[in-house]
Structure 1
Amino acid sequence: MHGTGLLTFSINVTLDGCVDHQEGIADEETHAYFTRLMDESGAMLWGRTTYEMMEDYSPAVARGEVDAPPALLAWARSLEDKPKYVVSATRSDFSWTNSHHLVGDLRTAVQELKDRTPAGVLVGSGTLATELDRLDLIDEYRFLVHPMIAGHGPTLYQGGLHSTRRLELISADPLSNGAITTHYRRTD
């Protein structure tokens, strides 16, 4: 796939599929994992809700205004410079450093973003990822599977897909905290 970057969906998920950001283990190891994924990617892609969850907190961490462990500080500082693209029908002004509103037809806009980002694009919003998967735009999946059963939602793909996704395992590695990093590629 020369000339076009891969779109990778990356998120924390419990064993029962919960993607609530308040579930999961937030420690040095998990922050370092997501910082590594982000550093390897050319851009971030989020829906408005995920963007707004981070826009107040992350810059404050990067500026040293919020007490944070070293791995979280590294993540926040890395995120400052990273191009951030936001899909939103209700907001158009995104003032956080290097933030851009992705406008127009979703399929076209995201494909153009992939085409001009050879290092790849990392999408970290569950609802948006479901929409992008329905449009056949997601190439790879990097899920951090946490050793817990949440017993509640929101869950991965609760909006549903048209058909089952067949994936090829690229790698799976346990972290010392019991979470497992998984890397899958689409095969269909």
Structure 2
Amino acid sequence: MGSLTFSINVTLDGCVDHEEGIADDETHAFFTRLMDQSGAMLWGRTTYEMMESYWPAVARGDVEAAPAIREWALKLEAKPKFIVSTTRTDFPWTGSHHLTGDLRTAVQALKDRTPDGVLVGSGTLATELDRLELIDEYMFLVHPMICGHGPTLYQGGLPSTRRLDLVSAQPLSNGAVAMHYRRADRGHTGL
């Protein structure tokens, strides 16, 4: 069974707005390595639509991009992508699959059949998955900035505090720090 890892860019004040943060080659290379280590991506509809509107064009070469960004796009194109949505059923992007049925059952089944693990990159979906006790690990790229606006990490709240164990902290030359945590009650799961 693979683990479910919540991975997202976040500022020091908890902002997870996709337009905030440092979007340079080093950041993209970091997320490309993280994606390489996982077996699948898991998103909510909003994140899927945001990604679908840009990354396939980069992968096709329709948009000029730096090498690290193009590498991310090509690997994302090839990666299995699972989408949770109650309002949309058609997901034409290469390798995209609609995850249906009971959320807990569907995501647990995805984890069970994905030994290399699943990355969830949608803040709202991750909050719901955390409420269901499905997230095993957290990989936050913490950016050295304070935004003063939202959306913020877990702004929907959780029923209880999550105690985490630090696995690693890796500073990047751009000032961001990759923070890898594991649920304290889970032990090692292999990502």
Is the shorter-chain TM-score for this pair beyond 0.5, marking a shared fold? yes
Matches within 5 A, 1:30-49: 30-49=27-46
Following TM superposition, by how much is the alpha carbon of 1:110 offset from its aligned partner in structure 2, in angstroms? 0.0
Question: Helix, strand or coil for the counterpart of 2:158?
Answer: coil
Following TM superposition, by how much is the alpha carbon of 1:18 offset from its aligned partner in structure 2, in angstroms? 0.2
Residue 20 of structure 2 is matched in structure 1 by 23
> Residue 165 in 1 paired to residue 165 in 2?
no
Which amino acid in the other structure matches residue 177 of structure 2? I
Q: What is the CA deviation profile of residues 95-152 of structure 1, one whole-angstrom value per residue up to 9, with x for unaligned ones? A: 0001000000000000000000000000000000000000000000000000000000
Matches of 1:71 and 1:165, distance apart in 2: 34
Following TM superposition, by how much is the alpha carbon of 1:56 offset from its aligned partner in structure 2, in angstroms? 2.2
Residue 62 of structure 1 is matched in structure 2 by 59
Residue 102 of structure 1 is matched in structure 2 by 99
Question: Helix, strand or coil for the counterpart of 2:14?
Answer: coil
1:91 to 84, 88, 92: 88
Which amino acid in the other structure matches residue 126 of structure 2? A
Task: Provide the identity percentage.
Answer: 80
Aligned length: 185
Matches of 2:66 and 2:123, distance apart in 1: 26
Matches of 2:16 and 2:53, distance apart in 1: 21
Residue 9 of structure 1 is matched in structure 2 by 6
Matches of 1:127 and 1:66, distance apart in 2: 29
Residue 130 of structure 1 is matched in structure 2 by 127
2:177 to 168, 180, 186: 180
Matches within 5 A, 1:112-127: 112-127=109-124
Which amino acid in the other structure matches residue 158 of structure 1? Q
Which amino acid in the other structure matches residue 8 of structure 1? T
Matches of 2:152 and 2:51, distance apart in 1: 20
5+ residue gaps, structure 1, are none
Which amino acid in the other structure matches residue 146 of structure 1? H
5+ residue gaps, structure 2, are 186-191
| Runs of 4+ in structure 1 over 2 Å off | none
